[in-house]
Each structure stands twice: as C-alpha cells, then as structure tokens.
Amino acid sequence: MKRDLRTSSQTAWLKPDPLHPSSRSWLHCQGIPPRGILSVMKKIELQIDGMSCDHCVASVKRALAAVPGVSNTDVRIGAATLTVDPEQATIGALIDAVQDAGYEAREGS
C-alpha cells in the first residue's frame, strides 16, 4: 500500500516497510536518510516545442519517465507536468532527456 500526501506544490510518498512491520516503523521512504520520514516531491512544469502528435507525446513521456527521480509524468502536446524527487531529478536532466528525444524544452510556469 502506498499513501500519497499532497500539499499545493509538493507530494510526499509513504510506503510500508516489510522489513520493519512494527507500528512505529512501518513507513519507509525512498531517498531520505534513516532519520527522515518523508521524501518531498516537487512539481515541475516544462514547455516543450516540436511535438505535433500522440507519437511525439509518447516519446517525450518515455524519455522523461526514464530519468531517475521522476515518479509521475503528465505529457501533452506543448507541455509536461512532472512529479520528481528534486534530489535525484534536476531541471537540466529533464531538459536533456527531452532534447535527446528530439524536442526542445524549457522550464515553464
């Protein structure tokens, strides 16, 4: 079971830890030192030029999903909204992935 806690601009993912089933330690969070409880996710908007069809959308979605730290992608013609772990996925890595797929990208709003 995965629980999703959301605020207006960030998401924290909580997962049960099968190695520590006690009530005090049932949470396990990726990317956080053992003292941490939550991995804070960041929402990023990208503007993408050069896409004109569903195949383009699928190519960009595949490229972005392959970047470490990306947990959710919503890609549409001209833009993408991503949920990422900011300690793993940088804007530069996301833009590079889109460019490697053959499109131009920049941080959007």
Domain boundaries along the sequence of the chain: 3-107
List, for residues 21-37, the tens digit of each pLDDT value: 443 343 444 444 444 44
Locate 86 and state its tokens.
Answer: 């900011």
Residue 89 pLDDT grade (very low, low, confident, very high; cuts 50, 70, 90) = very high
* Averaged pLDDT for residues 40-67: 95
Query: What is the sign, positive or negative, of the torsion defined by CA atoms of 67, 83, 50, 76?
Result: positive
Q: Are 43 and 85 in contact (CB under 8 A)?
A: no
User: CA–CA separation, 43 vs 94, rounded Å?
Assistant: 12
What pLDDT score was predicted for residue 36?
47
3-107 is classed CATH 3.30.70.100: yes
User: CA–CA separation, 78 vs 31, rounded Å?
Assistant: 31
* Averaged pLDDT for residues 70-89: 93
